[in-house]
């Protein structure tokens, strides 16, 4: 049963009174005392009320004078997930009956408040101001504020508001405390996938699970043998029996996908980016790229990621690459298609051509809008002999009208190269579904 709605005037009155209800009660008591006991007792009680009021205004200022706060990100954070911000108090004395208010640059502008009476438990909010209330904050406590992340990026927290209502809770004074070197790294969203699909006409069949094949190896086509362990190889592929015989780490190697070299090229042209941020076409491309790179890193598959724009990058994982997971995640986190001050930004076709020059990639992966299909002629790209193309196409209209139904899924066009597969997606596509089928 729905709760009865509060009259706006009554709600405004409650908001104005707030923590001063105790003073109103004392005032009523003083009036009754004066009515029944005389004016002399009233003078004494009024003096007591004024002293209480004055103490409530002055005493919270004392502990706030020497308050210093430091903050840092706790753990890894991804877009559309949660990030934890850990705070540390630097003060000569504990801070009682305090509140922490943190402004966040990556969520909506609505305000939210909730209270936690414990010192170490975290609380979650999805507003532009995260609020945490503590009974007592000492230098040993590490209160955590956990907030939802709606977008990727590198954000800097410059200040935090610390409030104190000690000792009576009638008045809360706030002080803005600067934060030094506090950055939040929100990495792109990663969707778990099982494999990147083969682009030949005859699709490989997955292997039946055996005691010597882990679930991660099911995405590969054929067991090829063992080799020495290389930095970046997944521990799921370690052959422990062979490692014991050779007295060094040995890993299983698989044919087909594990021997393919993938080349993934992103379109960072500002003219190609459609829809409101962060639900735009470029963010969909970032999520797809991060998911593929993560899968390749975990399974030892060689994949190279190239992106143009004003801040181009070229990173690779798997194979003989020495890149770490943080390299491509940092590159994708910093990718920005909106900075157009430079006049030397390459077009998507020129970025693809430069990436293919001197490369021997067996599969080229394109992520582009359908309106940009005519700007890149796949048949004229300088592909290696026998190379295939995985063409991921995003529906333009879906980013302006995401509530409508749009076609999606694997499709083939008459007369196209049999080594070319097309995956059509829209703004509301469940990436987990299609990427899991890949």
Sign for the CA dihedral angle at 412, 413, 419, 423 comes to negative
CATH code where residue 148 lies: 2.60.40.10
pLDDT at residue 1 greater than cutoff 60 = no
Sign for the CA dihedral angle at 244, 245, 249, 251 comes to negative
Tokens in use for 426?
Answer: 């829209």
Whether residue 25 lies inside any domain: the answer is: no
pLDDT for 230 equals 78
pLDDT tens digits, one per residue of 75-113: 999 998 999 999 999 888 888 999 999 998 875 433 333
First CA to last CA distance, the chain: 46
Neighbours of 9 (CB within 10 A): 8
> Residues 188, 333: contact at Cβ < 8 Å?
yes
Given 187, 211, 235, the domain boundary residue is: 187
pLDDT at residue 278 greater than cutoff 50 = yes
Tokens in use for 53?
Answer: 């009021």
CATH code where residue 302 lies: 3.40.50
**Mean pLDDT in residue range 417-438:** 77
Given 126, 158, 187, the domain boundary residue is: 187
Distance CA 294, CA 328 (A): 9
| Contacting residues for 133 by C-beta, under 8 A, at least 6 apart | 98, 99, 100, 114, 115, 116, 117
Task: Say whether both 280 and 413 belong to one domain.
Answer: yes
Task: Say whether both 148 and 261 belong to one domain.
Answer: no
pLDDT for 213 equals 41
Task: Say whether both 305 and 161 belong to one domain.
Answer: no
Say which DSSP state 111 is in. B
Whether residue 11 lies inside any domain: the answer is: no
Whether residue 386 lies inside any domain: the answer is: yes
Please name which of 367, 365, 341, 340 lies closest in space to residue 281, comparing C-alpha atoms. Answer: 367
Split into its structural domains, the chain has a count of 2
pTM for the full model?
A: 0.74
Whether residue 316 lies inside any domain: the answer is: yes
Q: Where are the extended beta strands (E) located within 75-152?
A: 77-78, 82-90, 95-103, 123-125, 129-137, 144-148
Please name which of 174, 165, 168 lies closest in space to residue 49, comparing C-alpha atoms. Answer: 168
pLDDT for 339 equals 59
Say which DSSP state 238 is in. B
Task: Say whether both 293 and 397 belong to one domain.
Answer: yes
**Mean pLDDT in residue range 198-227:** 45
pLDDT at residue 258 greater than cutoff 50 = no
Whether residue 27 lies inside any domain: the answer is: no
pLDDT for 14 equals 53
Task: Say whether both 175 and 267 belong to one domain.
Answer: no
Is the preceding omega at residue 385 within 30 degrees of 0, hence cis?
A: no
Tokens in use for 330?
Answer: 């940092």
pLDDT tens digits, one per residue of 336-381: 877 555 556 678 888 999 999 878 888 999 999 998 888 888 888 8
Distance CA 97, CA 94 (A): 10
Distance CA 369, CA 273 (A): 8
Whether residue 158 lies inside any domain: the answer is: yes
Task: Say whether both 264 and 409 belong to one domain.
Answer: yes
Whether residue 217 lies inside any domain: the answer is: no
Q: β-pairing, 95-103 with 153-164?
A: antiparallel
pLDDT tens digits, one per residue of 135-156: 889 888 999 999 998 889 999 9
The position carrying tokens 């705070």 is 87
Q: β-pairing, 388-394 with 363-369?
A: parallel
Distance CA 189, CA 387 (A): 29
The least confident of 190-204, 209-223, 307-321 is 209-223
Reported as a pLDDT band with limits 50, 70 and 90, residue 255 is: low
Distance CA 273, CA 267 (A): 9
Tell me the residue range of the domain where 295 lies.
257-436
Task: Say whether both 147 and 276 belong to one domain.
Answer: no
Average pLDDT, the chain: 78
Task: Say whether both 354 and 261 belong to one domain.
Answer: yes
Task: Say whether both 173 and 296 belong to one domain.
Answer: no
Whether residue 41 lies inside any domain: the answer is: no
Tokens in use for 42?
Answer: 């009233």
Task: Say whether both 175 and 309 belong to one domain.
Answer: no
Task: Say whether both 170 and 273 belong to one domain.
Answer: no
Given 187, 207, 237, the domain boundary residue is: 187
Task: Say whether both 277 and 155 belong to one domain.
Answer: no
| Contacting residues for 205 by C-beta, under 8 A, at least 6 apart | none
pLDDT at residue 188 greater than cutoff 90 = yes
Sign for the CA dihedral angle at 307, 309, 311, 312 comes to positive
């Amino acid at each position: 049963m729905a709760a009865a709605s509060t009259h706006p005037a009554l709600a405004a009155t409650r908001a104005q009174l707030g923590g001063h209800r105790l003073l109103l009660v004392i005032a009523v008591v003083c009036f009754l005392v004066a009515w029944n006991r005389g004016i002399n007792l009233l003078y004494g009680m009024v003096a007591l009320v004024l002293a209480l009021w004055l103490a409530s205004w002055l005493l919270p200022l004392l502990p706030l004078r020497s308050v210093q706060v430091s903050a840092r990100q706790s753990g890894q954070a991804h877009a559309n997930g949660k990030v934890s911000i850990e705070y540390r108090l630097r003060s000569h004395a504990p801070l009682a009956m305090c509140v922490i208010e943190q402004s966040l640059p990556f969520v909506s502008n609505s305000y939210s408040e909730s209270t936690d009476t414990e010192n170490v438990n975290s609380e979650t909010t999805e507003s532009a101001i995260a609020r945490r209330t503590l009974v007592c904050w000492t230098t040993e406590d590490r209160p955590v504020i956990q907030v939802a992340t709606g977008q990727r990026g590198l954000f800097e927290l410059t200040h935090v508001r610390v409030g104190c209502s000690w000792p009576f809770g009638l008045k809360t004074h706030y002080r803005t405390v600067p934060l030094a070197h506090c950055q939040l790294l929100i990495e792109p969203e990663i969707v778990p996938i099982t494999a990147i699909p083969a682009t030949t006409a005859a699709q490989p069949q997955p292997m039946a699970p055996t005691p010597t094949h882990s679930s991660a190896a099911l995405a590969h086509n054929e067991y090829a043998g063992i080799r020495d362990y290389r930095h970046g190889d997944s521990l799921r592929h370690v052959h422990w029996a062979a490692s014991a015989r050779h007295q060094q780490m040995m890993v299983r190697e698989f044919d087909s996908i594990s021997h393919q070299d993938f080349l993934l090229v992103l379109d960072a042209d500002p003219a190609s980016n459609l829809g409101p941020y962060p639900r735009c076409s470029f963010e969909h491309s970032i999520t797809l790229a991060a998911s593929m790179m993560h899968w390749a890193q975990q399974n030892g598959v060689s994949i190279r990621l190239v992106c143009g724009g004003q801040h181009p990058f070229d990173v690779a994982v798997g194979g003989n690459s020495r890149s770490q997971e943080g390299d491509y995640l940092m590159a994708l986190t910093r990718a920005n298609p909106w900075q157009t001050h430079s006049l030397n930004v390459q077009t998507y076709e020129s970025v693809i051509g430069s990436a293919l020059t001197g490369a021997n990639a067996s599969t080229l992966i394109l992520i582009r809008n359908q309106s940009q299909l005519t700007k890149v002629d796949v048949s004229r790209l300088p592909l290696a002999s026998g190379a295939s193309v995985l063409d991921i196409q995003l529906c333009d209209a879906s980013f302006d009208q995401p509530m409508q139904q749009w076609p999606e899924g694997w499709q083939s066009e008459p007369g196209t190269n049999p080594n070319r597969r097309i995956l059509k997606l829209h703004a509301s596509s469940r990436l987990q579904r299609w990427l899991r089928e890949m």
